[in-house]
Structure 1
Amino acid sequence: TDLSVCLSGKRRIKPFLNRSEQEFVASRRDTVLQTLKKLKIQCSRKEVPNIALLGSGGGQRAMVGLLGSLVELDKAGLLDCILYLSGVSGSTWCMASLYQEPDWSTKLETVKDNIIERVKGPEVSLTDAMAKLKKYYYGKDFFSLTDVWAVMAVTSYVKEIDEHALTEQRNQHKKDPFPIYTVIDKQCKQSNEQNPWFEINPYEAGYSLTGAFVDTCDFGSQFHKGSKKKHQDEFDMLYLQGKKLCHRKMYNCFTDAGISICKCMAQWIWGRKYNFLHNMTDEAVHSTILQSETRDYIDAGLLQNSPFFSVLREERDIDLIISLDFSQGDPFMTVRNAAETCKTLNIPFPEVTSGDKMKPKDFYVFKGQNSPTVIHIPLFNVVNCGDKVEDLRKKYRTFQDPYSAEMIADLMEVAGKNISNNREKLKEQIAAVIEEKRFSRFNTFLNKDSFRLNIE
């Protein structure tokens, strides 16, 4: 079976956007155009920039930080300029909460208040947690540490068991950015193959750079040579949020069990699913992927803690990337690693020069020829934190108990300042990208006209 042929419209390996995403993008670009007019930024329909907003991993710090950033983007009138919203790990906790609400960006203040009220509230009861764990255990072929982590750890931060399916979001978010959740293929990572980045959106799930995709409702079902052999129910949003991996936190969740838990960790698996590419043939996909019946999908932060490669697909044609970095440690590692990997893979990306990682500023712009412009914004910086950058890093660690109400409010404010303080700079860079597209179109026109005259 050749993967180049769509089989029943369910699986494909062609580097194009599926019809639903194409329709979404076309509609969203109209929204962006109207927003630019409100901001008094000159732009024609053909010059509308494709802008992607990225949220890095970072546990509850990333969840709260992304929420605070989005709130301020909305207040600045810039949220409706965003075409794609993509997240890793803790940022997906925020995304999952937002996308529960249809067209959340039209009522973000209310949605934000509801999310904050929930995460400040009581934890999921042990009875409900055990009932959910039982559902996971008996409801599918593979029960793994991802299930346990989702139920016993993630719920302690998000304070709910979200049983909605990702496909339920179809046609509910025409006024919101297009959501992309990212993980990585564990086996690809371990073998250093150049295809580990895996994305999941309401319509498709698959390998970002190869372009091998399956309908999201069939992701996890058993396939053989392109035919579905056994259906598995679609995973829910709690499980998707559970793709965040942390052995240490898992151990803390089961202190009473002690060393037997450690043995389970050594034997158990993370995020195992049936491989929808099993025994298919195509030169674009490495043979080891095609041969295996199952694949393990884990937290993307273990390789690249920001979802650059979900939006660097050539067919998405991104003009501007806004990278919100909520990482612990070096705030330039994500963008620097992305640049290095892109150089290896011959993917257009600007050259990155790191700033002072101990005293970063709040706004960096990286530009390159024929590549997207990248704006990089570290969460804690000398502008919004003064001389307390290191103190805040220690206060808001990735692995610690859920934040208090006061900590959440303070972190929302810190993250929000990174947007409100740079509102005009963001508008300037959007305008600059539009000007570059205008100049590029003009040069293309001149070259075509010159070619026609020479022919005549």
Structure 2
Amino acid sequence: MSASKLQKSSEVRIKHSLNKDEEDFVVNRRKSVFPTLGNLEAHCNQDVVKNIALLGSGGGQRAMVGLLGSLVQLGEAGLLKYIIYLSGVSGSTWCMASLYQEPDWSTKLEVLKDKIIERLSGPGVSWEDALAKLKKYYYEKDIFSLTDVWATIVVTTYVKEINECILSDQRDQHSKDPFPIYTAIDKQCKQCKDEKDVWFEISPYEAGYSLTGAFVGTSSFGSQFEKGSMIKQQPEMDMLYLQALCSSTFADEEEICKFIWQKIQDFFFPQIKTILEEMGKDPNDPPAEKCCQVLMDLVDKNLSVLNGKDPSAYDRSIRKTLKELAEGKGQLIFPVGKLDLADKEAAKQYMKQYTTDVCNYLSSCFSFWPFDDCISIYTCIAQWIWGRKYNFFHNMTDETMPDALLEGETRDYEDAALLLNSPYFSVLRDERDIDLIISLDFSEGDPFMTLTQTAEMCKKQKIHFPDVPVFPDEEKKNPKDLYVFTGQNAPTVIHMPLFNVANCGDDIETWSNKYRTFQDPYSAEMITELMEVAGKNISNNREKLLEHMWRKNPPVSNTTKHT
């Protein structure tokens, strides 16, 4: 690649404006909507064409299936063509990634729906293919993190495919579909409690900070930058990795940690003997066998500590095996101090250091061991590294940029649901000029939490958003299927909880318990049933949705209107 071409492709854009390609997309989308609106009202003009954003919340496979069912029904009701933007968090991005593989998917949604249901209820990805993909992630780029592991051994469990499409290839394939926006958050900004700079979006054209107004071309996101210029190109992330980046965690840290250690135990070790044989290595060779034993014991020790059980047997085995392996290579110095299971935080820190030390020792002393990627996974878990990418602002000097974003050679990105389980801030950018937000909420628990959290965050950031009332506990348990919020100079917000009194009657709790965020993949029957329930929220409210989609807003007083 020539120096001039590299410089052009690596340009960092710091500006509160839309990418020119996105602007053109929106203009063309609005033009395509206008003729259909003319059929509804003889004297309407293009001023009544609203900028409408459809949001899909997180919720694992429940969100994936729920969004699919909602989109199918929006298509059948003749409403999908009015949507300008489609933005998702976590599980909703799994649905989006499946759909946007297909050019102009909204014109063939019925057929595509059947294919997706067949795939989701099918046998899934083989361990050979998943492992091959994991090794590809490990060897083809500079930075390896738990997001790569999450993609290959967790996301594939639910989406049942390895989607190697890349976003930048989809730029000219979706003229008849809504503009897609995938969302994540910046972990360092979240830890600094900076709610302005934390929101990160990824579209086919750009990736960057929604409210800060700082972006880089999507194909360059992840490459190494210095003072705004690319100095080392990395492969563009594929859609499998993007799904993992946007859904990296949908439970608390301790539970995820248990889950990943268990997955490694189930995924790797039954296959290690076969892999060693395929690589021409003797699995019964003492050093190889003992290295494998140490790693297995290390998994079991971590699981024991996380479950509050005495891990001393595994500790003794690790120390004994490492002593046998050493043979003049030098003894491993284990962490100082005693493991205290009663102090969870101290135990976590102890195991972090213990795991890192053991992995570093194996990696440095035993070059015959073929699984550098396996040891790296252990280290990533110990250090809890997710979504690490090169910082495309590294060493830039720009007075308009927050200092926090200019620091460090790398940044970590993670599931936006850890802060807000809906992608409101991707569409609340002033330059997107959104008139109507339709929020499809697939959250577990409080069906209004995303709404109330967004209102609070917008108030802090001085972003126009309708006021949201305090909902009584009874309504949280038995929500309606549609709520409308309007306010002065704010977009209208339509909020639609997945399970509600209209589509579930008195069985809301039963439905919620049946479709949990963290459970085994759904069967074909469960998928079809959940899609139908989600679809009812659209079909039952078609006329109300249509009214808000194309008519001009009535005058609104300074007092928020809530229906």
- Between the aligned partners of 2:501 and 2:400, the Cα distance in structure 1 is 46
Q: Cα offset for 1:285?
A: 2.1
The answer for the alignment partner of 1:81 in structure 2 is 82
The answer for the alignment partner of 2:373 in structure 1 is none
The answer for the alignment partner of 2:4 in structure 1 is none
- Between the aligned partners of 2:464 and 2:229, the Cα distance in structure 1 is 36
Instruction: Give the stretch that moved more between structures: 298-307 or 426-435.
Output: 426-435
TM-align CA RMSD:
1.7
On the 8 A contact 1:63/1:91 being kept in 2, the answer is yes
- Tell me if 1:236 matches 2:241: no
Q: Cα offset for 1:235?
A: 0.4
Q: Cα offset for 1:30?
A: 0.9
The answer for the alignment partner of 1:304 in structure 2 is 420
- Tell me if 1:254 matches 2:264: yes
Q: Cα offset for 1:123?
A: 1.2
On the 8 A contact 1:373/1:433 being kept in 2, the answer is no
Q: How big is each residue's C-alpha offset from its partner over 1:37-85, in whole Å with a ceiling of 9 and x where there is no partner?
A: 3444863113310000000000000000000000000011000000000
Change beyond 3 A, Cα 1:217–1:144: same
The answer for the alignment partner of 1:216 in structure 2 is 218
- Between the aligned partners of 1:330 and 1:48, the Cα distance in structure 2 is 33
- Tell me if 1:398 matches 2:517: yes
On the 8 A contact 2:48/2:550 being kept in 1, the answer is no
On the 8 A contact 1:123/1:160 being kept in 2, the answer is yes
Q: Cα offset for 1:432?
A: 4.2
The answer for the alignment partner of 2:468 in structure 1 is 352
- Tell me if 1:245 matches 2:259: no
Change beyond 3 A, Cα 1:261–1:160: farther
Q: How big is each residue's C-alpha offset from its partner over 1:351-395, in whole Å with a ceiling of 9 and x where there is no partner?
A: 012441111000000110000000000000011000110111111
The answer for the alignment partner of 1:339 in structure 2 is 455
The answer for the alignment partner of 2:140 in structure 1 is 139
- Between the aligned partners of 2:300 and 2:384, the Cα distance in structure 1 is 14
What percentage of aligned pairs have identical amino acids?
Answer: 65
- Between the aligned partners of 2:234 and 2:44, the Cα distance in structure 1 is 46
On the 8 A contact 2:48/2:551 being kept in 1, the answer is no
- Between the aligned partners of 1:403 and 1:251, the Cα distance in structure 2 is 23
| Aligned length in residues | 432
Match of 2:203 among 201, 217, 229: 201
Q: How big is each residue's C-alpha offset from its partner over 1:288-318, in whole Å with a ceiling of 9 and x where there is no partner?
A: 2102110000000000110000000000000
- Between the aligned partners of 2:438 and 2:139, the Cα distance in structure 1 is 41
- Between the aligned partners of 1:267 and 1:260, the Cα distance in structure 2 is 16
The answer for the alignment partner of 2:325 in structure 1 is none
Quick one: which amino acid aligns to residue 548 of structure 2? Q
On the 8 A contact 1:332/1:354 being kept in 2, the answer is no
The answer for the alignment partner of 2:382 in structure 1 is 266
**For 1:27-42, what aligned pairs fall within 5 Å after superposition?**
27-40=28-41
On the 8 A contact 1:278/1:291 being kept in 2, the answer is yes
Match of 1:379 among 487, 490, 498: 498
Instruction: Give the stretch that moved more between structures: 203-212 or 286-295.
Output: 286-295
Quick one: which amino acid aligns to residue 119 of structure 1? L
**For 1:15-94, what aligned pairs fall within 5 Å after superposition?**
15-40=16-41, 43-94=44-95
Q: Cα offset for 1:261?
A: 6.2
Quick one: which amino acid aligns to residue 254 of structure 1? I
Q: How big is each residue's C-alpha offset from its partner over 1:191-214, in whole Å with a ceiling of 9 and x where there is no partner?
A: 111310000000000000011000
Change beyond 3 A, Cα 1:220–1:260: farther
On the 8 A contact 2:146/2:386 being kept in 1, the answer is yes
- Tell me if 1:363 matches 2:482: yes
Q: Cα offset for 1:35?
A: 2.7
Secondary structure of the structure 2 residue equivalent to 1:357? helix
- Between the aligned partners of 2:38 and 2:302, the Cα distance in structure 1 is 58
Instruction: Give the stretch that moved more between structures: 337-346 or 266-275.
Output: 266-275
Instruction: Give the stretch that moved more between structures: 35-44 or 161-170.
Output: 35-44
Change beyond 3 A, Cα 1:229–1:261: farther
- Between the aligned partners of 1:67 and 1:299, the Cα distance in structure 2 is 20
Q: Cα offset for 1:427?
A: 1.2
- Between the aligned partners of 2:215 and 2:495, the Cα distance in structure 1 is 29
Quick one: which amino acid aligns to residue 322 of structure 1? I
- Between the aligned partners of 1:43 and 1:280, the Cα distance in structure 2 is 49
- Between the aligned partners of 1:158 and 1:128, the Cα distance in structure 2 is 14
Change beyond 3 A, Cα 1:431–1:173: closer
- Between the aligned partners of 1:135 and 1:433, the Cα distance in structure 2 is 52
The answer for the alignment partner of 2:173 in structure 1 is 172
Match of 1:280 among 396, 400, 407: 396
The answer for the alignment partner of 1:11 in structure 2 is 12
Secondary structure of the structure 1 residue equivalent to 2:73? helix
Change beyond 3 A, Cα 1:295–1:433: farther
Change beyond 3 A, Cα 1:59–1:174: same
- Tell me if 1:325 matches 2:441: yes
Match of 2:544 among 414, 425, 432: 425
On the 8 A contact 1:41/1:431 being kept in 2, the answer is no
Q: Cα offset for 1:281?
A: 1.9
Change beyond 3 A, Cα 1:436–1:82: farther
On the 8 A contact 1:320/1:433 being kept in 2, the answer is no
Change beyond 3 A, Cα 1:341–1:41: farther
- Between the aligned partners of 1:100 and 1:117, the Cα distance in structure 2 is 16
- Between the aligned partners of 1:368 and 1:166, the Cα distance in structure 2 is 35
The answer for the alignment partner of 2:350 in structure 1 is none
- Between the aligned partners of 2:407 and 2:193, the Cα distance in structure 1 is 17
- Between the aligned partners of 2:86 and 2:423, the Cα distance in structure 1 is 10
Q: How big is each residue's C-alpha offset from its partner over 1:238-288, in whole Å with a ceiling of 9 and x where there is no partner?
A: 001112223144244234553466643232410000011111122332212
